[in-house]
């Protein structure tokens, strides 16, 4: 999927999110921008340092590994047919070790990539998808001429077998692309929906480990899953369904409750075409006003909201006619539009008082594109393709349809079982949960609420201190997906260090570009946020403390 760099946010038109994978690398980082659904981390652009040591003299030789690579095509491993293999030799400043890329397919539309390094360290790394998937988050980036320009750091620097899939549909083939294929009424469409919901994760891990076994004659010693947004959903699915397969999991920019998140998306989509709906220009102007009011809360005026939890900016001051509001009728807000924004920033509740979704923090793009996402997940829940249309979404009723979403998403396996995730944590395996603080697509506050519920269950299962097995981090100021790249935040070293060396992460570094300037800030363990120390370069993480 690395052939897609930045999908135009205008794709979120006509109430439908086109399943283009939406690899937004470089689009969400930094200044709190909004973005499309579910980015996929990019491979490392920087020169690769020395490779990890090989497995040892008892392992297969490079010539034996090459022979295995050449001989796998056509074989069936763990129910997946190997369709293609390719050998990549070591390349200065890109990958210090040669590796074999193995491509496989399982009917109807599930495609998988496994990359096996010569200098395997025993690690297995599975990468989650993005959007409605449809493309593989490949470990290999090539230029227009086909030359390799980057390799994922887990493969190039950590010596891990790398695995990823397309989630069970093919965005490049209209009849096989989600979400439309799920509405086809065919057995293939139903299997594609099941693969996207959960099954692709399990098929990929079984195939990936079978491939490693074919090369090295043994299973991985440490296994990891990583993903952001839909990849974060995949990560929680991995924890609850295949806990024995993964020693450490990193789950970002999701909420651990897709029924609630989908309900919030569709509730907002039901306002489309009414006086209460905001235009993109109004949404952008409102965020700019919030940024102006809250930028300095972290001690530095740097064009991002470093502590969105502390931002109490009320959109009521943007109402047309209020002193200080814009005089441009295309930018100021009606009373109904003020109410819409206030509803996004407040908990969404049922009439019985139960919380469907915790309110959002200020982010750029609140409400934009939510109908396309909500429609796709409502289709998964109900099997009704009408949910992809604005007309059906306009009739969404939270009090009744929320229960349909909960039951349907659970039935197809697309939602989460917090007790099962808690059991994974209570077993001593490690889970890093994280969110971009100014995410305007999936609520960071709801993610933390559900994570807290999960840790409470883990306590009831006998884990005295959940902090010993799971921690929650906030990437400051970023929009949806910011921090998802391993070059932005080194989640790989964090989870591997915790699992392999018992080095629990307390503070990470978020590296990004804002306004053309390279910056870094701490990614703090929640509820701490970065605070500028009052001196030093505000573009450098060392000038901040987590407080």
| Strand 430-436 versus strand 470-475 pairing type | parallel
CB 434 within 8 A of CB 403: no
Instruction: Find out whether 209 and 160 touch, Cβ atoms under 8 Å.
Output: no
pLDDT confidence of residue 408 = 98
What is the spatial distance between Cα 366 and Cα 268, in angstroms, rounded to a whole number? 10
Domain termination residue (choose one: 412, 431, 463)? 412
Residue 357 region by backbone torsions, left for phi larger than 0, else alpha for psi between -120 and 50, else beta: beta
Predicted pLDDT at 100: 98
- The reply to whether 199 and 72 lie within a common domain is yes
**Quick one: 407 and 528 in the same domain?**
no
Contact between residue 55 and residue 122 where contact means Cβ atoms under 8 Å apart: yes
In a domain? residue 2? no
CA dihedral 249, 252, 258, 262 (to 10 degrees): -160
Tell me the mean pLDDT per 10 residues along the chain, length 547.
Answer: 33 34 34 40 42 57 97 98 97 95 98 98 97 96 93 97 98 98 97 98 98 98 97 98 98 98 98 97 97 95 91 97 95 98 98 97 95 97 97 98 98 98 98 97 98 98 98 95 96 98 98 94 96 96 96
Largest CA distance in the chain: 77
Domain ranges, residue 487? 9-257+416-546
Residue 271 lies in a domain: yes
In a domain, 168, yes or no: yes
Say if residue 208 is preceded by a cis peptide, omega within 30 of 0.
no
CATH of the domain at 451: 3.40.50
Task: Report the domain count for the chain.
Answer: 2
> Do 329 and 345 sit in the same domain of this protein?
yes
| Residue 3 forms part of a structural domain | no
Do 62 and 82 lie in a common domain?
Answer: yes
Residues 479 and 375 in one domain: no
* CA dihedral for 178, 182, 185, 186, sign (positive or negative): positive
Q: How many CB atoms lie within 10 A of CB 208?
A: 31
Q: Are residues 312 and 176 in the same domain?
A: no
Same domain? For 127 and 203 the reply is yes
Read off the tokens for 95: 């990958």
pLDDT score recorded for residue 515: 86
How far apart, in whole angstroms, are the C-alpha atoms of residue 235 and residue 496? 16
Please tell me whether residues 491 and 469 are part of one structural domain: yes
Residues 441 and 397 in one domain: no
The DSSP secondary structure of 458-521, one letter per residue, reads HHHTT-S-GGGTEEEEEETT--TTTT-STTTS-HHHHHHHHHHH-----EEEEEEEETTEEEEE
Domain end among 358, 389, 412: 412
From the list 187, 171, 165, the residue with the least C-alpha distance to 132 is 171
Using CA atoms, how far apart are residues 72 and 83, in angstroms rounded to an integer?
9
Task: Identify whether residues 314 and 447 lie together within a single domain.
Answer: no
Q: Whole-model pTM above 0.85?
A: yes
C-beta of residue 125 within 8 angstroms of C-beta of residue 212: no
In a domain, 522, yes or no: yes
Decide which of 381, 412, 443 is a domain's last residue. 412
Q: Which candidate, 546, 538, 531, places its Cα nearest to that of 517?
A: 538
Same domain, 34 and 167: yes
Q: Say whether both 265 and 246 belong to one domain.
A: no
pLDDT digit string (tens) for 468-500?
A: 999 999 999 889 999 999 999 999 999 999 999
Q: What residues have CB less than 8 Å from 408, skipping those under 6 apart?
A: 378, 380, 381, 382, 383
Q: Do the domain assignments include residue 325?
A: yes
**Residue 63, SS3 per DSSP:** helix
């Amino acid at each position: 999927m690395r052939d897609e760099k930045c999908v135009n946010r205008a794709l979120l038109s006509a109430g439908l999110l086109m399943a283009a994978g939406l690899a937004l690398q470089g689009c969400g980082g930094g200044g709190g921008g909004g973005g499309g659904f579910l980015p996929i981390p990019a491979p490392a652009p920087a020169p690769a340092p020395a490779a990890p040591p090989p497995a040892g003299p008892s392992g297969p030789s490079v010539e034996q590994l090459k022979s295995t690579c050449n001989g796998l095509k056509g074989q069936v491993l763990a129910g997946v047919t190997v369709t293609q293999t390719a050998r990549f030799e070591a390349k200065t400043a890109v990958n210090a070790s040669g590796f074999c890329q193995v491509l496989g397919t399982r009917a109807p539309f599930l495609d998988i990539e496994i990359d096996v390094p010569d200098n395997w360290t025993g690690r297995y790394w599975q990468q989650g998808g993005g959007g409605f998937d449809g493309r593989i988050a490949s470990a290999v980036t090539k230029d227009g001429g086909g030359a390799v320009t980057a390799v994922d750091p887990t493969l190039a620097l950590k010596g891990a077998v790398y695995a990823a899939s397309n989630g069970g549909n093919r965005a490049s083939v209209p009849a096989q692309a989600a979400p439309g294929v799920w509405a086809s009424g065919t057995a293939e469409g139903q299997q594609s929906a099941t693969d996207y919901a959960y099954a692709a994760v399990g098929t990929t891990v079984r195939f990936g480990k079978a491939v490693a076994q074919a090369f090295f004659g043994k299973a991985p010693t440490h296994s990891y899953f990583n993903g952001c947004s839909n990849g974060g959903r995949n990560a929680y699915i991995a924890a609850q369904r295949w806990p024995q397969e993964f020693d450490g999991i990193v789950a970002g920019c999701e909420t651990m409750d897709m029924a609630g998140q989908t309900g919030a998306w569709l509730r907002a989509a039901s306002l489309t075409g009414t006086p209460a709906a905001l235009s993109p220009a109004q949404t952008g102007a409102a965020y700019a006003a919030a940024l102006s009011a809250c930028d300095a809360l972290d001690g530095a005026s740097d064009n991002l909201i470093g502590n969105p939890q502390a931002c109490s900016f009320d959109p009521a001051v943007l109402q047309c006619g209020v002193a200080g509001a814009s005089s441009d009728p295309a930018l100021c807000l009606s009373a109904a539009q003020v109410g819409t924004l206030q509803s996004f920033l407040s908990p969404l509740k049922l009439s019985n008082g139960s919380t469907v979704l915790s309110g959002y923090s200020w982010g750029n793009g609140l409400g934009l594109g939510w109908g396309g996402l909500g429609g796709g997940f409502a289709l998964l829940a109900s099997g009704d393709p009408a949910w992809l249309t604005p007309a059906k979404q306009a009739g969404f009723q939270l009090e009744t349809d929320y229960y349909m979403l909960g039951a349907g998403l659970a039935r197809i396996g697309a939602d989460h079982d917090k007790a099962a995730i808690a059991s994974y944590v209570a077993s001593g395996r490690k889970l890093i949960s994280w969110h971009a603080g100014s995410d305007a697509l999936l609520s960071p506050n709801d993610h933390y609420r559900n994570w807290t519920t999960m840790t409470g269950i883990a306590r009831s299962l006998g884990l005295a201190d959940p902090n010993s097995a799971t921690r929650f981090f906030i990437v400051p100021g970023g929009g949806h997906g910011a921090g998802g790249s391993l070059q932005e935040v080194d989640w790989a070293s964090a989870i591997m260090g915790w699992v392999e060396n018992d080095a629990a992460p307390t503070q990470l570094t978020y590296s990004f570009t804002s306004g053309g300037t390279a910056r870094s800030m701490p990614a703090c363990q929640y509820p701490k946020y970065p605070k500028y120390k009052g001196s030093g370069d505000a573009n450098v993480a060392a000038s901040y403390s987590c407080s």
